[in-house]
């Protein structure tokens, strides 16, 4: 389901779809040198897949604890961890962002350069309707692949019923689990919706685990 699109202080946040109120996937854009708010979540886990540019990420409250993430890098932040993302001076930053579970009000801003400290998400007045040039991710039909292109990154979304179907995956590609889970033979959850992993890692799980019924994956790879 399409939600909305934010335009705030150089941050272009296009929200694509949610899956049964469990997970939200959208794209984050930061203009050169601009930074996201310094925030923490209490319940949801947040993951990023960098598509273009270099993300400078402050993890924790200490300003010296900054790491750089280049295109096709994965960043996963647990609940309760303060963080801030900044685009470096060389280019705008584009990233896929995934929230699991989808809890829109689970957000605390500790610092913000745009007057939003201690405030939640923006109101409806800060949004605009999606336009025809905005890419909209859609849930595919079974046995079909939905294909997209974002910043020279090829995106495919499709369902899989077993790991044999993943043999053709490029080992250097990245996979995001949008729905479903991988389980052990004792039916314990191994990895579930919201996780971002290298496709090579996902393919290695075939030796010991299985897909529970079916799994919806987003695969990102360089052209």
Residue 120 covered by a domain: no
Query: What mean pLDDT value characterizes the chain?
Result: 78
Cα–Cα distance between 90 and 33 in angstroms, integer? 8
Closest by CA position to 116, among listed 5, 21, 6: 6
The more confidently predicted of residues 21 and 197 is 197
pLDDT tens digits, one per residue of 164-199: 777 777 888 999 999 999 999 899 999 998 899 998
Q: Which domain holds residue 176?
A: 145-222
Residue partners of 5: CB distance under 8 A and separation at least 6: 12, 13, 14, 15, 127, 128, 129, 130, 134
Q: Give pLDDT, residue 82.
A: 79
pLDDT tens digits, one per residue of 22-44: 788 888 888 775 555 555 566 78
Q: Give pLDDT, residue 11.
A: 47
104 and 152, same structural domain?
A: no
Which residue among 65, 92, 112 closes a domain? 112
Which residue among 112, 132, 159 closes a domain? 112
pLDDT higher than threshold 90 for residue 89: no
Which residue among 112, 137, 160 closes a domain? 112
Q: What is the mean pLDDT of residues 65-80?
A: 88
Residue 139 covered by a domain: no
214 and 157, same structural domain?
A: yes
pLDDT tens digits, one per residue of 99-149: 887 766 666 665 555 555 555 555 555 566 667 777 778 888 998 999 998
Q: Give pLDDT, residue 40.
A: 55
Residue 122 covered by a domain: no
Cβ pair 89, 34 in contact under 8 A: no
166 and 90, same structural domain?
A: no
Domain count, the chain: 2
Name the pTM for this structure. Answer: 0.81
Residue 87 covered by a domain: yes
Residue 118 covered by a domain: no
Cβ pair 24, 123 in contact under 8 A: no
Alpha-helical (H) ranges within the chain are 199-204
Alpha carbon separation from 140 to 62, 96, 98, 167, 214 (Å, rounded): 42, 19, 18, 20, 13
């Amino acid at each position: 389901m399409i939600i909305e699109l934010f335009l705030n202080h150089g941050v272009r946040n296009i929200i694509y779809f949610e899956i049964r109120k469990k997970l939200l996937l959208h794209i984050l854009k930061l203009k050169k040198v601009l930074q996201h708010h310094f925030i923490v979540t209490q319940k949801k886990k947040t993951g990023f897949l960098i598509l273009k540019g270099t993300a400078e990420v402050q993890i924790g409250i200490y300003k010296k604890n900054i790491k750089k993430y280049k295109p096709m890098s994965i960043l996963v932040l647990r609940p309760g961890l303060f963080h801030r993302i900044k685009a470096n001076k060389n280019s705008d930053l584009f990233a896929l962002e995934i929230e699991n579970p989808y809890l829109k009000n689970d957000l605390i801003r500790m610092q913000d350069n745009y007057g939003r400290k201690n405030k939640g998400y923006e109101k409806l007045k800060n949004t605009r309707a999606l336009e025809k040039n905005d890419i909209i991710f859609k849930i595919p039909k079974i046995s079909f692949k939905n294909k997209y292109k974002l910043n020279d990154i090829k995106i495919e979304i499709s369902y899989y019923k077993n790991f044999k179907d993943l043999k053709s995956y490029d080992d250097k590609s990245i996979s995001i689990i949008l729905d479903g889970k991988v389980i052990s033979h004792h039916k314990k959850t191994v990895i579930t919706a919201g996780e971002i992993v290298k496709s090579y890692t996902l393919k290695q799980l075939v030796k010991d685990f299985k897909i529970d019924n079916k799994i919806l994956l987003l695969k990102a790879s360089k052209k």
